[in-house]
Amino acid sequence: MKVLVTVKRVIDYNVKVRVKSDNSDVDLSNVKMAMNPFCEIAVEEAVRLKEAGVASEVVVVSLGPQAAQEQIRTALALGADRGILVQSDENLESLTVAKLLAKVIEEEQPGLVIMGKQAIDTDNNQTGQMLAALTGMPQGTFASEVKVSGDKVQVTREVDGGLQTVELSMPAIVTTDLRLNEPRYASLPNIMKAKRKTLDIKTPEDLGVAVKAHTQLLKVEPPAERKAGIKVASVEELVDKLKNEAKVI
């Protein structure tokens, strides 16, 4: 079985995000970039399926600028077999990404697609669901456990009321949650081996998809500075301040 994994290039989660002086966008100059943490979990799960003998090949796909090859190479160093970059310098919205991935799936014919549930930059949490709708594939979102048996995959989902287990017929799409696994670190020998693995580069035009903007970014502002808190001597004083000063009760 072939497993297709998506990875996205985002600002490293340890970096404090800066806004451009004209408030037009986030400042990416001289900023450390990394693989989206949820995508790391997706790669780890795919590699574990391969190590267990369930998957025969793990293919990593990313969409974005040429620099996104770095994140693909990282995934290859973690154990993926080959990579695909759909190269575009445009701001790719979720629907466009889903359409491009649908074309990649059409070409690759994977038995399972594993994606991070969301990216930490846009926090949309919608590409996996859109992809499932476009391809007609069943989906298991917010996965905390994945079990493959024959042509079925059981996905334990984290929902508001606890855990829900769904069984999907493959090919299927799974989006990962935080508690699915703990991603490994790439060893130096594997990093060197990753440089020799195949990485194909395509464009949206190659896949027959027009990059179209459906939304417009008007302004970006940093969050307001948080005011210092205060200590209260009693519950009565706390309730009084919440009622008369904060006016939240």
CATH at 99: 3.40.50.620
Average pLDDT over the chain, rounded to an integer: 95
User: In this structure, is residue 144 part of a structural domain?
Assistant: yes
- Distance, in Å, from the CA atom of 195 to the CA atom of 174, rounded to the nearest integer, reads 28
Token code pair at residue 137: 């594939």
- The predicted-structure confidence for 47-57, as pLDDT tens digits, reads as follows 999 999 999 99
- Distance, in Å, from the CA atom of 113 to the CA atom of 171, rounded to the nearest integer, reads 8
Token code pair at residue 191: 């990093």
User: In this structure, is residue 229 part of a structural domain?
Assistant: no
The closest of 74, 123, 130, 72 to 99, measured between CA atoms, is 130
User: In this structure, is residue 236 part of a structural domain?
Assistant: no
The closest of 220, 222, 238 to 230, measured between CA atoms, is 238
Structural domain count of the chain: 1
Contact criterion met (CB below 8 Å) for 85 and 206: no
Provide CB contacts within 8 A for 153, sequence distance 6+: 112, 140, 146, 147, 167, 168, 170, 172, 174
User: In this structure, is residue 11 part of a structural domain?
Assistant: yes
- The predicted-structure confidence for 3-48, as pLDDT tens digits, reads as follows 999 999 999 999 999 999 999 999 988 899 999 999 999 999 999 9
User: In this structure, is residue 240 part of a structural domain?
Assistant: no
- C-beta atoms surrounding 207 within 10 Å: 16
> HSE-up of 44 (CA within 13 Å, CB side)?
21
- The predicted-structure confidence for 171-194, as pLDDT tens digits, reads as follows 999 999 999 999 999 999 999 999
Contact criterion met (CB below 8 Å) for 183 and 43: yes
User: In this structure, is residue 238 part of a structural domain?
Assistant: no
pLDDT of residue 226: 84
What is the rounded average pLDDT of the residues 106-110?
97
Provide CB contacts within 8 A for 108, sequence distance 6+: 2, 4, 59, 84
Looking up tokens 């456990």 gives: 145
User: In this structure, is residue 248 part of a structural domain?
Assistant: no
User: In this structure, is residue 97 part of a structural domain?
Assistant: yes
What is the rounded average pLDDT of the residues 87-95?
94
Task: Kindly tell me the sign of the dihedral angle through the C-alpha atoms of 15, 4, 99, 151.
Answer: negative
Token code pair at residue 157: 């989902």
Q: Which domain holds residue 178?
A: 2-223
- Distance, in Å, from the CA atom of 172 to the CA atom of 183, rounded to the nearest integer, reads 22
- Distance, in Å, from the CA atom of 248 to the CA atom of 241, rounded to the nearest integer, reads 9
